[in-house]
């Protein structure tokens, strides 16, 4: 069936929550995607920073098939071996001592918000319930996460929103210090703003936030849903900043496309969750945990992160060449393989032209081309993309 035929069928049955790109994908392999008409594309979206090991990864596919033949689901009323192994691997590699598995980034952030509120409630401080987040942030589409998000455009039509969230500018420690008061429970932020435009923290900002939280007795929640799991060239983006949070959320690349999220926390913070205080039916099922274990063990192989940093550095250097050569480009942003090219005009036209030439990218904040390819992309593949991008920018 043609792309048009598939789209006509979709329009009859799907809710109109997305302005979908007019392409229908049927299969993928590594960094490549093929549409319903057989055209091949180099994928620099990776399911929005999800398919870190590429499409149809053989090791992940084997792990899922093997686990599906053994045990898929029993609920969290019981223990399962893949969940325990995955939790052990995660806590070995970071600050955390406890893990709660869920199904998505929004659910992970909801869990983190609940945990922060319950933490102070248990201390006899119920007045400390507010969460401070950053303007430009994005934390998910549930009602609480919408309110936490620092972008008004995603909130329209869903009022009234839950109370208990304040917003301050990213990289503005002084305003954050003024906003934090006796009603504040936590500061929640992305180490690099993703949907907010691939914006990096200024040197010392995250350390300053950590210090402020320590001085005021606040919890620090890091939303590493997009930045975690190797995306910035480190297992977790905060590790490059020399800080540790009290709570961290993960999702996206955790199971390479299967739905999985996680809330990681210190023993002290995690103690606020007791039996019955929080739950999920599908979180951490044997199936998705088996996939996530394979992903994790690949990411943590010696040299893997070195490769991400090397290719990411090469990619950024090539984008900076374009910035110098083409006046339409105003800035290059990002770290590792989470990169953005800021244009002086809306970027949708460039995105569509790239798609026509066989390259999938997406746009954030109207003028920013965002590149979050599978972490297995090569220098040669980056170079072929940058050459095409340069030709398109010259036409602009």
Q: What pLDDT score does 381 carry? A: 98
Cβ-contact 225, 254 below 8 angstroms: no
Q: Assess if CATH 3.40.50.80 describes domain 60-299.
A: no
Distance CA 361, CA 344 (A): 18
Bridge partners, residue 78, by sequence: none
pLDDT over 90 (residue 396): no
pLDDT digits (tens, 9 = 90+) for 91-130: 999 999 999 999 999 999 999 999 999 999 999 999 999 9
Average pLDDT score over residue span 172-185? 98
Distance CA 138, CA 149 (A): 5
pLDDT over 90 (residue 252): yes
Does the model's pTM come out above 0.95?
A: yes
Domain with CATH 3.40.640.10 in the chain: 60-299
Q: What pLDDT score does 1 carry? A: 85
Q: What pLDDT score does 146 carry? A: 96
pLDDT over 90 (residue 287): yes
Average pLDDT score over residue span 161-184? 97
Question: What is the CA 152 to chain-centroid distance, rounded?
Answer: 20
Residues assigned a catalytic role: 138, 223, 252
Distance CA 185, CA 162 (A): 16
Q: What pLDDT score does 223 carry? A: 98
Residue % of the chain over a pLDDT of 70: 100
Query: Residue 374, exposed/middle/buried by CB under 10 A (0-12, 13-18, 19+)?
Result: buried
Beta-strand relationship, 40-43 and 359-360: parallel
Distance CA 114, CA 243 (A): 23
Q: What pLDDT score does 294 carry? A: 98
Q: What pLDDT score does 321 carry? A: 97
Three-state SS string across the chain, please? CCHHHHHHHHHHHCCCCCCCCCCCEEEEEECEEEECCCCEEEECCHHHHCCCCCECCHHHHHHHHHHHCCCCCCCCCCCCHHHHHHHHHHHHCCCCCEEEEECCHHHHHHHHHHHHHHHHHHCCCCCCCEEEEEECCCCCCCHHHHHHCCCHHHCCCCCCCCCCEEEEECCCHHHHHHHCCCCEEEEEECCCECCCCCECCCCCHHHHHHHHHHHHCCEEEEECCCCCCCCCCCCCHHHHHCCCCCEEEECHHHHECECCEEEEECHHHHCCCCCCCCCCCCCCCHHHHHHHHHHHHHHCCCCHHHHHHHHHHHHHHHHHHHHHHCCCEEEEEEECCEEEEEECCCCHHHHHHHHHCCEECEEECCCEEEECCCCCCCHHHHHHHHHHHHHHHHHC
pLDDT digits (tens, 9 = 90+) for 181-233: 999 999 999 999 999 999 999 999 999 999 999 999 999 999 999 999 999 99
Beta-strand relationship, 362-364 and 368-371: antiparallel
Q: What pLDDT score does 56 carry? A: 98
pLDDT digits (tens, 9 = 90+) for 36-79: 999 999 999 999 999 999 999 999 999 999 999 999 999 999 99
Bridge partners, residue 28, by sequence: 33
Residue 163's pLDDT band (boundaries 50, 70, 90)?
Answer: very high
What mean pLDDT is reported for the chain?
97
Q: What pLDDT score does 193 carry? A: 97
Q: What pLDDT score does 3 carry? A: 94
Q: What pLDDT score does 242 carry? A: 95
């Amino acid at each position: 069936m043609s792309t048009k035929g598939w789209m006509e069928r979709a329009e009859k049955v799907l809710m109109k929550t997305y302005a979908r790109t007019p392409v229908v994908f049927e299969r993928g392999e590594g960094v490549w995607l093929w549409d319903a008409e057989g055209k091949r594309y180099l994928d620099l979206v990776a399911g929005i920073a999800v398919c870190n090991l590429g499409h149809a990864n053989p090791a992940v596919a084997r792990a899922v098939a093997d686990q599906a033949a053994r045990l898929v689901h029993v609920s969290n009323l019981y223990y399962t071996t893949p969940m325990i192994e995955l939790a052990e691997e995660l806590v070995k590699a970071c600050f955390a001592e406890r893990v709660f598995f869920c199904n998505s980034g929004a659910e992970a952030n909801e869990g983190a918000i609940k945990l922060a509120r319950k933490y102070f409630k248990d201390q006899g401080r119920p007045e400390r319930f507010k969460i401070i987040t950053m303007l430009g942030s994005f934390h998910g589409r549930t009602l609480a996460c919408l309110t936490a998000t620092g972008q008004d455009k995603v909130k329209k039509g869903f009022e009234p929103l839950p109370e208990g969230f304040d917003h301050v500018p990213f990289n503005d420690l002084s305003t954050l210090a003024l906003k934090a008061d006796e009603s504040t429970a936590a500061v929640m932020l992305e180490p690099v703003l993703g949907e907010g435009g691939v914006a990096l923290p200024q040197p010392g900002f995250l350390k300053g936030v950590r210090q402020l939280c320590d001085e005021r007795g606040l919890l620090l929640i890091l939303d590493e849903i997009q930045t975690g799991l190797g995306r910035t060239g480190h297992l977790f983006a905060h590790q490059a900043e020399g800080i540790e949070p009290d709570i961290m959320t993960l999702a996206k690349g955790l199971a390479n496309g299967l739905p999985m999220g996680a809330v990681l926390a210190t023993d002290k913070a995690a103690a606020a969750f007791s039996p019955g205080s929080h739950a999920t039916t599908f979180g951490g099922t044997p199936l998705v945990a088996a996939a996530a274990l394979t992903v994790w063990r690949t990411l943590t192989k010696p040299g893997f992160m070195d490769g991400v940093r090397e290719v990411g550095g090469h990619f950024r250097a090539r984008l900076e060449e374009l910035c110098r050569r083409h006046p339409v480009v105003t800035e290059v942003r990002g770290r590792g393989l989470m990169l953005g090219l800021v244009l002086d005009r809306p970027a949708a036209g460039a995105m569509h032209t790239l798609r026509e030439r066989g390259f999938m990218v997406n746009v954030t904040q109207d003028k920013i081309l965002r590149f979050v390819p599978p972490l297995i992309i090569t220098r040669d593949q980056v170079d072929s993309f940058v050459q095409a991008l340069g030709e398109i920018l010259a036409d602009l």
